[in-house]
Each structure stands twice: as C-alpha cells, then as structure tokens.
Amino acid sequence: MLAHGRTRLLTRITRWTRQAHAARAHTKDVRWPGWELVVGIEVHAQIKSRQKLFSGAPSSDLSSPPNTHVIPFDAAFPGTLPRLNPKCVELGVRTAIALNAEVQPRSAFDRKHYFYADLPSGYQITQQYAPIARNGRLHLEKDGISVRIKQLQLEQDTGKSTFLPRNSITAIDLNRAGMALMEIVSEPDMRSPEEAGSYVRTLQALLRSVGSSDGNMEQGSLRCDVNVSVNRVGQSTGTRCEIKNLNSVKFMMVAITCEAFRQIALLEAGGRVMQETRGFNEEKAETYTLRSKEDAPEYRYMPDPNIPPLLIDSSYVEAIRQHMPQLPDATRARLLEHGLSRRDVEVLMDVDSGREVGYDGELGHGAVTYFDEVSRGRDPKAVVNWITHEFLGQLAFRHETFRENPMSTQQMGDLIDLVQAGKVTGTSGKTILRHILSTRTTDLPSKIAEELKLLSASDDDGASLETWCKDAITALPQEADAVRRGNPNVVNKIMGHVMKASRGTAKAQDVRVMLLKHLQ
C-alpha cells in the first residue's frame, strides 16, 4: 500500500538530453533540406478524479460557476495543510504502468515558486526532482518508432485569470486551483511535426483507455509544452526553444513547423538561437517571445515541508497491474485476430479514443466495447460492417457523436440477426436503423419491422414478386429492351423500381432472377 516516510530522495535533474540524437538515422525532409528537427514534449494531463490533489474540494469543470469549488487550502489560507488524494496516486501509477515506466518506490513533492495572481500560495506543488515514475516509452505504431518517457510527475494545477477589458480588471477563478495534473515528459526523440502529433494522439488514447484522464484538449484537460531545436545534419543538437500551452494537436504541429523555419532562417542568416520560452499566435501562425530562459533552475525549488515522501510498495503496484484495462495496442491486436480488416480496426479505435472517461478510473463505454457486446455469438465481420459503414455514417450525417448514440447493443444485435436470417433485406435494415436514430425508440427492430411492414416478402409461389417485376418491365420498356439486346447492367435500374414497389422487402437476388427470367 501507500506510506509516507520522513526522508527525502534527492536525484539530479537531467536537462535536455542528447543521448538519442545519433540513435536514429536521418530522414530527409523536403521542408528543410540539410537540416534536422529535434522535438521533445511535456504533456500536462488533468487527472479525472472527483477531488483535487491535496484538498477535499470537488473537482470542477467548465460548467461550474466561478469560485464554487474552493476550500481554504486551495486559496492558501494560513494554517491549512495538504492531504494527498490516494485516487490520484492510483491513476498516476496506472498511467506509469501503461507507459512501461518504472514506478519509483519513493518519490517526493517540491515547491516550485513563481508569482501569479491565480496562484495564491506563491508556489506550485510538483515532483521535479523525485517523480513518481521514470524511464518509460510509448510506441507509435503508425510511425514505427518508440518515444522514451523521461518521467511522470504529479502536480497541482493553477487557477484561471480572465482579463475583463470593459472594466480593466482581471477576474480570478480558483475552481481549477489544486486540480491534479500528471506532467509526462518525453525525451527529444521526435523528428517531425507529424511524429509529434502522432505522439500526442497516441498518448491521449492511452490515457483514456486506462481511465486516468479524458485528454480533452479543447477543454484544457490536456496541454502541451513543446521543445524545438534544429541542427545541420550530422552535427550536434542546436539550442532549444520551448513553446508553451498548446491546446490543439493541429496548432501544435503548425507551431513546431513555424518555429523550425524561424530557427533555420536565423541560423542561415548568421545569427544564433537564444534559449527562451515562446508562445504561439494561432491567427498569425507564428511564435513570439515570452521570456528568456537559461538552462539554470529559475523557480527556487525546495522540498515541501508539509508533505513527507511518498512510499509505494511493490505489492500495491502489482495489484494495480493485475486489474489494468486493456491498452490500445492489445485491443488492436485482439480485433485483428477476429478477422477484421486493419481499416475497420482503425475506425473503431479512432471512435473509441473519444469515449467518455468517468471519475476515479471508471471506464466509459466506447465503440470497441459496443462492438464486443454486439459481436458476441455473431459474425464479427457482419457486425463491424453495420457499425462502421451504416451506423457511424448515419451518426455523422446527423452531426451526432458516438456517445450520443441512442441505439442499444440489444437493438443493433437484433437488427443484424434479422438481416442475417433473411427476415428483412439490407435495405429494410437501413430503414429500421434510420427509424431508431430519428425517433430514439427503445423498441427492438423485430417489432419495428412488423409495425412498418418491412418483413421480407415470403409468399411461397412468388406471386407478389412476379407482379412487381412485370409492373417494372411495363413501366420501363426502354430498359427492358436494352436487357433483351444483351445489356445486363441495365437490369439494376429495373431492380430499383421493384425494390421501391416492394418498399425494400423483396430480396435483391430473387428480384434479379425473376427479372432475367421474364426478359429472356
């Protein structure tokens, strides 16, 4: 289990590492010939816990009124003391295991001093020197590379400042102050904006899969600081610049590209890159200076005297490991074993990566879980075809997300059973699907098919089918003559007339056979 000790483990911080620079062969990039780009990323992911990291205040979201989720500790009242939230530690360990990182038996909390109005204590509690986990890696399957994870540390978030130009004042909202964050620091192993984008997307999917963070960049649950440097091919790494607070994968990739061009232009003109912290202007698509930043520590770190070191027993880590949810790579491999195509697997995984994440590690139900439940006892290929081609297409047409989907797994399974058994045609099945999504009914498709008279035509002598075919031939004489003259492709138009007359209840194969019989 967890324990607190009275001693502190001090470890030396390692700055921008250059060990991996020569480990990868250079890949030519036509955007900057003769130059090499080196990228490292610090991701700040908000832990999805019901309570904050060191106080009992409930976590807040964008819908919470300002300053309603604040207790005296969050506002830095004198005499208040921190109390570590064990759920945040559990989710941090769960993330470390997913990243193949080494969970440290002893970690410690530091005070990082800086002064902003939305940081009432004047310092942030973090784990700069003795993080909870080190030495992980994240494999990027699409790029065929692994990015090393330097460390994962727990820390507090700050409050939010909003400037009100009408009143010329800055409003402070402390709802977010003290919220739990994981800072995940990569080594500089990426060599293009595209690899950086793939890294963040892969990390987002992993965090959601283990339930530690929803990774929602639009709402600020995941933010990135990107370190960028350039160098001539074959030379050592150049001076890095850090681009702060990027909250979109698209803009992060644009920011990296713009910064690379800026540094290259500066070096080719005989100048030199100064180490500094920069921001990114999305409208102008350019980075700008925030402050100079030398390599020496600048935040006056000190051990937090109110929080003893955190001791994590190996049995505690192993217990979490035994109950880990399936990770994206394992899920992808399992789906491929079911006989699904790689394209269908990627569609399911992409939709699943946007699933909702519950509090304190509760896992939401996404597209993969939906597929697993529907495919139980059914043909996986038939199920995935209905989900990816028909179902997701209809949701996209209605501008609805998968989490807003009103169709239960029981309804989807019943619909597929009806079509597979030939009780309704594929066309009628699509009609039933649209009906469920439009009316949001909870009725089973078998009942809906009866009510809408969509059950397949089943009269033994085929009298109805023959009547529909004769009527279609009469209604389309030119097409009928074309088929008689040896153009069988035109029969599809006549079939469409029959399907319309039958309201989709006639089976396409039977219609074709009957039409060709009458047209010979």
Predicted local confidence at residue 18, as pLDDT: 46
Decide if pLDDT at 504 tops 80: no
Decide if pLDDT at 159 tops 80: yes
Looking at per-residue pLDDT, the higher value among 498 and 422 belongs to 422
Please tell me the distance from the alpha carbon of residue 178 to that of residue 70, in angstroms, as a whole number.
9
Secondary-structure breakdown of the chain: helix, strand, coil percentages, each rounded to the nearest 5 = 35, 20, 45
Decide if pLDDT at 79 tops 60: yes
Predicted local confidence at residue 93, as pLDDT: 97
Predicted local confidence at residue 455, as pLDDT: 78
Decide if pLDDT at 8 tops 70: no
Q: Which of 35-49, 316-330, 349-363, 415-429 has the lowest mean pLDDT?
A: 349-363
85-95: pLDDT as tens digits: 999 999 999 99
Predicted local confidence at residue 14, as pLDDT: 38
Full-model pTM: 0.80
Please tell me the distance from the alpha carbon of residue 434 to that of residue 428, in angstroms, as a whole number.
10
468-490: pLDDT as tens digits: 777 778 888 777 777 777 777 77
Helix axes 342-352, 328-337, angle to 10 degrees: 140
Which of 251-255, 346-350, 392-396, 480-484 tops mean pLDDT?
251-255
Q: Which of 242-251, 262-271, 326-335, 359-368 has the lowest mean pLDDT?
A: 359-368
Please tell me the distance from the alpha carbon of residue 487 to that of residue 508, in angstroms, as a whole number.
18
Predicted local confidence at residue 462, as pLDDT: 57
412-413-414-419 Cα dihedral, nearest 10 degrees: 90
Predicted local confidence at residue 350, as pLDDT: 84
Bridge partners (DSSP) listed for residue 36: 231
Mean pLDDT of the chain: 87
Determine if residue 333 is left, alpha or beta; phi over 0 gives left, psi from -120 to 50 gives alpha, anything else beta: alpha
Decide if pLDDT at 296 tops 70: no
Q: Tell me the average pLDDT across 8-30.
A: 54
Decide if pLDDT at 67 tops 50: yes
What is the chain's length?
520
Bridge partners (DSSP) listed for residue 39: 190, 228
Decide if pLDDT at 20 tops 50: no
Predicted local confidence at residue 132, as pLDDT: 97
Q: Tell me the average pLDDT across 195-211.
A: 94
Helix axes 409-420, 367-375, angle to 10 degrees: 50
- And the tokens for 50? 């019901």
Beta strands 110-113 and 123-126 are: antiparallel
Number of alpha carbons in the 13 Å side-chain half-sphere of residue 321:
13
Cβ–Cβ under 8 Å, residues 87 and 212: no
Q: What is the DSSP string of 265-299?
A: HHHHTT--PPPEEEEEETTTTEEEEEEE--SS--S
84 Cβ contact partners less than 8 Å away, ≥ 6 residues apart = 53, 54, 307, 310
- And the tokens for 105? 């038996």
Q: Which of 54-58, 142-146, 511-515 has the lowest mean pLDDT?
A: 511-515
Please tell me the distance from the alpha carbon of residue 259 to that of residue 417, in angstroms, as a whole number.
55
Decide if pLDDT at 188 tops 80: yes
32-44: pLDDT as tens digits: 999 999 999 999 9
Could you tell me the pLDDT band of residue 499, with boundaries at 50, 70 and 90?
confident
Tell me which DSSP letter residue 387 carries. I
Cβ–Cβ under 8 Å, residues 108 and 9: yes
* Amino acid (1-letter code) at residue 460: D
- And the tokens for 307? 């929080």
Decide if pLDDT at 5 tops 60: no
Decide if pLDDT at 399 tops 80: yes
449-460: pLDDT as tens digits: 888 877 765 544
